[in-house]
Amino acid sequence: MKKPLILFIILAVCAAAGAVWIGYDAAKLGNEKYSVDTREYEPVSREAATAAHKETESSKTEDEKSVSQNITGDKAAYYRLESEYGYVVIYNEDDSLYDKTDIKMSSLPRAVQIEILNGKELFSERELYDFLETYST
């Protein structure tokens, strides 16, 4: 008789602990450190992005322009990052393939994933190399 009673008590305690845990999780208690990004993301058109880039380029001083030209090799470049089969792929301005990377989309921050899914645009080789340096393994 004692064995079924002990088994019942153990199961009742486990069920009560499970109910408390589910209620605690459902009430989201203690999840303050896990915040969800609820900002709306509005894709930017190529024309608007190009205009914004030209505006920032025109506001640079002559010294900044010469430094950025030396870094990029004196040529203006345009690249677009997209996702294919879960990896980041780089396209040239004329939509030809520039390179397939080993960067997994799942390894990128959510905001960067959204930008790439919408066709992240880079306006210089320096921006491209900075991106690759930051997110390559």
Are 54 and 101 contained in the same domain? yes
Domain span at residue 93 reads 46-135
Task: Let me know if residue 40 belongs to a domain.
Answer: no
Output the CA torsion 86→92→98→103 (10° steps): -30
Give yes or no: residues 77 and 18 share one domain: no
pTM listed for this prediction: 0.48
Q: Are 105 and 116 in contact (CB under 8 A)?
A: yes
Q: Are residues 60 and 116 in the same domain?
A: yes
Predicted confidence at residue 70, as pLDDT, reads 47
pLDDT digits (tens, 9 = 90+) for 53-86: 667 666 665 555 554 554 444 456 789 999 999 9
Mean pLDDT computed over 122-126:
89
**pLDDT tens digits along 20-53:** 877 766 666 655 555 555 556 566 666 666 666 6
